[in-house]
Amino acid sequence: MPFPAGSEQAEVQEQETDKAENNELEAEKAAEKEIANLEQKEKPTSEQDTAQNEEKEASKEKQSVKQENESAAEEQEQSAKKTATPQKQADHGPDAQVTRVVDGDTVKIKLNGQEETVRLLLVDTPETKHPSKPVQPFGPEASSFAKQELAGKQIEVEYDGPKRDKYGRLLAYIWVDGKMFNQKLLEEGLARLAYVYDPPYTHYQEYMKAQNKAKDKEKGIWSRDGYVRDDGFYYGRGTEKESSGNNNSSSTEEKASENEANEGENSSSSNALKYDPNGPDRDCGDFDTQQEAQDFFEAAGGPAKDPHRLDGRDGDRVVCESLP
């Protein structure tokens, strides 16, 4: 109900109306301010989300690039493996081919276009080729094993010490398919460790371990009590001991070796000497082969006498060992 103008009630009513309008205005301002504050708070959050999204995208891109690089590297590695030339095994010595297996510890090979007889270093197998004695136990097994492992095979020939023996045979380790055949004989109990004439030998310790393992397992030659001796093997019956490991001219090794040497082309010694043993002084340079020098040395009185000093300082009765 309106009050008369100028009355006290009308004045109070007007003041209250102004106050209400002011309060409404203040409320509107406060609301606007609140909205502005909320908008201000939301803005950084939006920018932060954008930055995080950009970072995620960049990380994804980096991961994708990394995976592509890894995949390319893997493909390149696989391709390289397919096309790469296989690496050759360690070089142990000259290459050769086995042309014939004589017995367990002696073979014939073709080396540099020439046929050579090789006597395996540091091993001795029971005899099968002795000119006057019966075949020894495990000799045929050793020969059979040698044929199985070596016949017709490409091999490497490793020298260790004097290159040849007094019969002109090469003294060597034989490597076949990356393994030493000499050691395999010992591992199988088909040979004994022997003829350690010129130590130290490169593979002696390995051979000793191989022999001991076969001995502990009683394999092959070690299965017969008392069969293996320091100087050779007992035969299968009786008490006669076959001495195949000494250096005397009457030993099995000497006799059998002479027989083996006479089987091949390397037994080419001739009764006719190139020089007179009682003539002018000679040295190794005067001879074409070791056998030729050896024959001359023996004809001149060797090994008891060596007037031409062909045996050198080692006194091993084998002269001019550097000659073919």
DSSP 164: B
C-alpha span between 93 and 155 (Å, rounded) = 9
Question: What is the location of CATH 2.40.50.90 in the chain?
Answer: 95-263
Tokens representing 72 are 């390319």
280 against 101, higher pLDDT:
101
Query: What one-letter code names the amino acid at 72?
Result: A
Look at residues 106, 88, 109, 90 and name the one whose alpha carbon lies nearest to residue 98: 109
Q: Which of residues 227 and 234 earns the better pLDDT score?
A: 227
Confidence (pTM): 0.52
User: Tens digit of pLDDT for each residue in 28-79?
Assistant: 888 788 777 776 665 555 566 676 777 778 777 778 777 888 877 788 777 7
The DSSP call for residue 2 is P
Three-state helix/strand/coil letters over 82-141: HHCCCCCCCCCCCEEEEEEEEECCEEEEEECCEEEEEEECCEECCCCCCCCCCCCCCHHH
Catalytic residue positions, numbered: 119, 127, 169
pLDDT tens digits along 180-226: 999 999 999 999 999 998 889 999 999 999 999 999 999 999 999 99
Q: What is the pLDDT of residue 95?
A: 96
Per CATH, the number for 95-263 is 2.40.50.90
pLDDT for 107 beyond 90: yes
What is the distance, to the nearest Å, from the Cα of residue 108 to the centroid of all Cα atoms in its chain? 25
In this predicted model, what pLDDT tens digit does every residue of 239-272 receive, in sequence order? Answer: 344 444 433 333 445 555 555 555 544 333 334 6
Burial class (CB in 10 A: 0-12, 13-18, 19+), 64: exposed
Query: b/e string for 109-128 if b means 16 or more Cβ within 10 A?
Result: bebeeeebbbbbbbbbbbbb
Could you report the per-residue pLDDT of 131-187, keeping only the tens digit for each?
667 889 999 999 999 999 999 999 999 999 899 999 999 999 999 999 999 999 999
Q: What is the pLDDT of residue 65?
A: 77
Token look-up 């000799």 returns 139
- The pair of three-digit structure tokens given for residue 196, joined into one six-digit string: 């350690």
Amino acid in position 63: Q
* CA 224 – CA 218 distance, rounded (Å): 8
CB atoms within 10 A of CB 210: 23
Measured CA to CA in angstroms, residue 53 lies from 42, 200, 212, 297 at distances of 17, 75, 72, 97
User: Among all chains, which residue has been given the structure tokens 């300082």?
Assistant: 313
Question: Please, what's the b/e burial string for 265-276 (b: 16 or more CB within 10 A of its CB; e: otherwise)?
Answer: ebeeeeeeeebe
Give the Cα separation of 125 and 15 in Å (integer): 135
